[in-house]
A and B are shown apart, each in its own frame.
Chain A
């Protein structure tokens, strides 16, 4: 006897995952300053003067504890980028992000390290390394990672836009 039913079934599962994380003293300092002043702050090593954004408690070069907070610029430079055509779940919303979109490594004026974030642009293919971006914060800050919405693409550097660079 043969069994020839070819009705194939699907299994549908939805997971809702929620969790709390202690951000630690350093990130808490960053979020509190961001919320109070609408400014990005980094930590500076008193030994090698390297400025970290995102801030870190200990300098990666010198292993020295950092207690100095430095106010950083509102703009930055793209030092790496990728154009994504594959729909991924946006970690901010849990929903797919429309493609294409640009992910960039951004060096904020005054920082020595880079941030990985979304670059908002009308033309993903024309974003180049060295282009300038501006930080876009949400209107009502909550003191968490969602406060930085994205970095708005400004275009190639002009002499005036690089004025605040360290």
Chain B
């Protein structure tokens, strides 16, 4: 096959965005309380994680000031799905069912042998020592033996 000239190109895109009132409260709780919060919809009672400003099932607004609708979820759950190809940092993108939540949390699993991964694996959040108020304050979810 004939080989043609190649062009190399690269762009560096730095940006920053305001995450908004609801996600700010969610991230502050990760940073200050090491707690994962979900929100419960008054109408359908579904619990979404991460916390959201509205119910994605019935579109009802969830007030981020109302503590009652904010549910502290446990930091453990089960592995539902994952991407077999590891990310550059060695983690696997994964969908995790936290206990008490009605949807799946998109995060990553790791700090384990890839062959261990299977549906229903029990996982626990591994926290970063110096929290910064971002989703990566949880380094990953790590397999754990059920007590």
- 7 A-B pairs with least C-beta separation: A18-B10, A28-B5, A1-B67, A94-B12, A94-B11, A12-B16, A15-B13
List residues of chain B with CB within 8 A of the CB of A160.
Answer: none
Surface stretch bound by B, among A3-11, A40-48, A74-82, A116-124: A3-11
List residues of chain A with CB within 8 A of the CB of B12.
Answer: 14-16, 94-95
Q: How far is the CA of A15 from the CA of B14 in the complex (A)?
A: 6
The answer to whether A21 and B16 have CB atoms under 8 Å apart is: no
Q: Does A13 contact B (CB under 8 A)?
A: yes
Contact size range, B:
20 to 34
Chain B interfacial positions (CB closer than 8 Å to A): 2, 4-21, 23-25, 27-28, 64-68, 70, 133-134
The answer to whether A94 and B10 have CB atoms under 8 Å apart is: yes
List residues of chain B with CB within 8 A of the CB of A7.
Answer: 24, 28
Residue of B nearest to A12 (CB): B16
The answer to whether B11 and A20 have CB atoms under 8 Å apart is: no
B7 to chain A, nearest CB (A): 5
The size of the chain A interface, using a CB distance under 8 A, is 35
A145 with B7, Cβ < 8 A, contacts A9-B24, A10-B18 known: yes
List residues of chain B with CB within 8 A of the CB of A18.
Answer: 8-11
**Selected A-B contacts with CB under 8 Å, 20 pairs:** A1-B68, A3-B66, A7-B24, A9-B133, A10-B18, A10-B19, A11-B17, A15-B11, A15-B12, A15-B13, A16-B12, A16-B13, A18-B9, A18-B11, A19-B8, A23-B5, A89-B11, A94-B13, A143-B5, A145-B7
